[in-house]
Amino acid sequence: MTDLQDYPPQVQDEIARTREEVCELHAELTRWNLVVWTAGNVSQRLHSADLMVIKPSGVRYDRLTPDDMVVCDLDGVLVDGDHSPSSDTAAHAYVYRHMPEIYGVVHTHSTYATAWAARGEEIPCVLTMMGDEFGGPVPVGPFAIIGDDSIGRGIVETLRDSRSPAVLMQNHGPFTIGKTAEAAVKAAAMVEEVAHTVYVARQLGDPLPIAQDLIDRLHDRYTTVYGQH
């Protein structure tokens, strides 16, 4: 394990700040009911070095402190921390290696998004809010199990050609990405909300579609005017 003291001061400073931010964002996962027990994780890539900060494995959310957050390199190898990194670290690391514009990744098993994933069915874009945030349906990624790069590869291959910051990995659950960990957490909250809303709409009958050119206008405006993507 590398000694953190070997890194330049600005890297050490960014690590300290990022540990605070990533810890605080895990509280958002519980606030918006996206996780149960320890079943979700947030990471953020550093700008000053090829490192990421991620949740430790198996620590309960109400006990997480910034110091518990783990530092790994972009192969998922532990660099600093008192705990093992999350068991999903390999998937986060794969995303950072293959999507250089991405600095935040979130994984949850939030109820409604995971239900669509269990069906292997994309969430159709029937809400203006989905046009804004996702620019179309929320896509489904392949079935892949933990242990090699297949989860990371499934995420990257699905999202690379999509405007959606969220993918529903089949039988597994949502992964979301963003330019910051906060943006990825927002996407995790939004994908659960639209998964729930469209589920309810579908139980009532067939939701009304939104024409593709209107979805395009919503998404263009949202990402241009607000620059929130």
CB 109 within 8 A of CB 37: no
- State which of positions 1-30 bind a second copy (CB under 8 A): none
Would you count residue 186 as binding a second copy (CB under 8 A)?
yes
Would you count residue 218 as binding a second copy (CB under 8 A)?
yes
Q: Site for a second copy (CB under 8 A): which residue of 73, 196, 223, 229?
A: 196
Cβ proximity to a second copy, 15 vs 166, nearer residue = 166
Q: How long is the chain? A: 229
Per-residue mark of binding to a second copy, 50-89 (x: CB under 8 A) = -------xx---x------------------------x--
Q: Parallel, antiparallel, or unpaired: how do β-strands 140-141 and 166-169 relate?
A: parallel
108: CB partners within 8 A, 6+ apart: 29, 34, 35, 39, 40, 173, 174, 188, 192
168: three-class secondary structure by DSSP: strand
Q: CA nearest 65: which of 30, 27, 23, 21?
A: 23
CA atoms within 13 A on the CB side of 162: 23
Cβ at position 16, least distance to a second copy in Å: 21
Would you count residue 224 as binding a second copy (CB under 8 A)?
no
Which window, 8-16, 89-97, 145-153, 160-168, contacts a second copy (CB under 8 A)? 145-153
Residue with tokens 């783990």: 70
Q: Which two tokens stand for residue 224?
A: 């241009």
By CB under 8 A, name the binding residues for a second copy: 31-32, 36-37, 39, 57-58, 62, 87, 109, 111-112, 114-116, 118-121, 126-129, 143, 145-147, 170-173, 186, 189-190, 192-193, 196-208, 210, 214, 217-218, 221, 225-226, 228
